[in-house]
Amino acid sequence: MRTKKSGAVAGLVLATLAAALTPSTASATLAVPSGGGATKVVTAAPVVRQVRLNVPRTAEVGANLSGYAQVVDIDGKLALPVPGVRVSIQMQRPGAGFVAVSSDTTDESGMVTFGFTARTNVTWRAVMQTSRKTLVSKQVTTAATAQANWGGRPDMDVTHGVRAHFAVRVLPTGGKVALQYAAGRSGHLAWVSAKPVGVPQSGLVDPYITFTKAGTYYVRAATVRSAFNAAGYTSTITITVR
């Protein structure tokens, strides 16, 4: 037979469980009957809503990429997706503030997706705003690596004491690039940089190295890192200096 006392306790348990499963930053208490007619009070962990952001951490300039944000409710060890909430994707370029690039409603997986083309270093964040609260994801930075490629067929056989030119094509323009060389011996390579040169609007430069003595050398070109772009490198070639 169900007594009034047991019915009241069961009602309290159900009501407390419902409160515990509602997203909240406050913990809930659960009254659980124990032996001897006593009631044991247990504190339940709160359900916490989070906005998570996933974007590539590095990309070459010109690459087309995609990312996504996801809204979840953390209930103990479970991450429950939250559909039907609006999330704004915001980006920040060097020296500027955050601006919104997209705004969409989460799908049944709690996700919104977006695409972008890597041009400069960018910091991202995802923002979920309701009438009650604003949640912001952790910030994630995508480093845009400059493109550096040989602008022509490199000369593999040069003479020491004479300028050896190596054409290089760079994207984006406006920065600087330098030739680097290292002696072709076993073990750790000690790269030496020649004087950096500016990259014109054409993107094509013709820097040079003057080797002081004969030998075998490794040569590459490297863009100079800036606030806007990470350093990019050409392939490494092996040349003979006579």
3-state secondary structure 196-242: CEECCCCCEECCEEECCCCEEEEEEEEECCCCCCECCECCCEEEEEC
Q: Which two tokens stand for residue 62?
A: 């010109």
> Could you report the per-residue pLDDT of 67-110, keeping only the tens digit for each?
999 999 999 889 999 999 999 999 999 999 999 999 999 999 99
| CA 120/CA 114 separation, integer angstroms | 17
CA-based Rg of the chain, rounded to a whole angstrom? 30
**Domains, in order of start, for the chain:** 4-44 (no CATH), 48-145 (2.60.40.10), 147-241 (2.60.40.730)
Indicate the DSSP class of residue 50.
Answer: E
Arithmetic mean of pLDDT, 43-52: 82
Arithmetic mean of pLDDT, 7-15: 40
Residue identified by tokens 């602008």 is: 151
Distance of CA 17 to the CA centre of its chain: 38
How crowded is the C-beta side of 96, counted as CA atoms within 13 Å?
A: 14
pLDDT score of 18: 36
> Could you report the per-residue pLDDT of 130-189, keeping only the tens digit for each?
878 899 999 999 999 999 999 988 888 899 999 999 999 999 999 999 999 999 776 778
Q: Within a 10 A sphere around the Cβ of 132, how many other Cβ atoms?
A: 5
Q: Within a 10 A sphere around the Cβ of 173, how many other Cβ atoms?
A: 15
Name the pTM for this structure.
0.74
Q: Which two tokens stand for residue 204?
A: 């094509």
